[in-house]
Structure 1
Amino acid sequence: MNRPRRQGREAPTTTRCSSKTLDECKAIQLEHRQAMEARAKEKGTTLMAARQNACDRMQARGFFSEQMSETEGRLLKPVSGAMMLGVGILLIAAPAALNDLRVALVLLVGSIGFFGLVHWLRKPVQGADNE
């Protein structure tokens, strides 16, 4: 059964979800709340208090977390590639070893260490021409 949506419900949800920060979300929420109070006053009814704060729920679910920067992405890509390569080799060579926590830790530390070494070796020398 399709019930008709109440007028004006889609816009606040869409704009709140498109906000980039918690403060922006709360400003949109406050503006919407004031509009709802004005409509309720026109009709002669009282507006019920909000049960939950949608912006706080969105923050708890990670909606307003910082995005990864380009530099962080460039660092993460080879580390994850090294991890995938290590897991692939381990699956071929000794699949039963994946059940051991120590092997997983060695794989993680080894891939980060391998990438650190590669990153250190590729750093340009200060003062040298990079042409």
Structure 2
Amino acid sequence: MSKTIASIVLLVAGLSQLLSVVNASRTANIKLFQNTNQSLQFYSGDYAYNNCFNTADAKSMVISVGKKSTMLRFNGPDCKGKRKRSVIRDTKTVSDIAAKYGNTGISFVITRYNPDDYESNVPAFDYLNMA
């Protein structure tokens, strides 16, 4: 009986380790849509942001963005309060973003400008297949 319990514990520990490795290599899911309703929570110009990320919750996230991408960053969690706009490009991890701004308690949303996204109302980002 004790061998069975020990085997189950080892199996669960192994699966947990495997899942943590898989999650660490995944990229973030951020979608950007043409905005037709200016009352959406994250709104800037013609674009609405559908997801806010807290650096404390998303430490293993990797974000790949192209030219003309911007990040709206907030000093606290849940993208509330005064925002600051920054240019962001290339591939960044959330820990890089937190280290750059010296705070693991910040939150952010990211956009990428692409005229095709505006015309077709297609997400600019499709991470983790959460579309």
Flag whether TM exceeds 0.5 (same fold).
no
Higher relative contact order (CA 8 A, sep 6+): 2
Larger Rg: 1
Give the structure with the larger strand fraction.
2
Q: Provide TM-score, normalisation by structure 1.
A: 0.20
Give the structure with the larger helix fraction.
1
Q: Provide TM-score, normalisation by structure 2.
A: 0.20
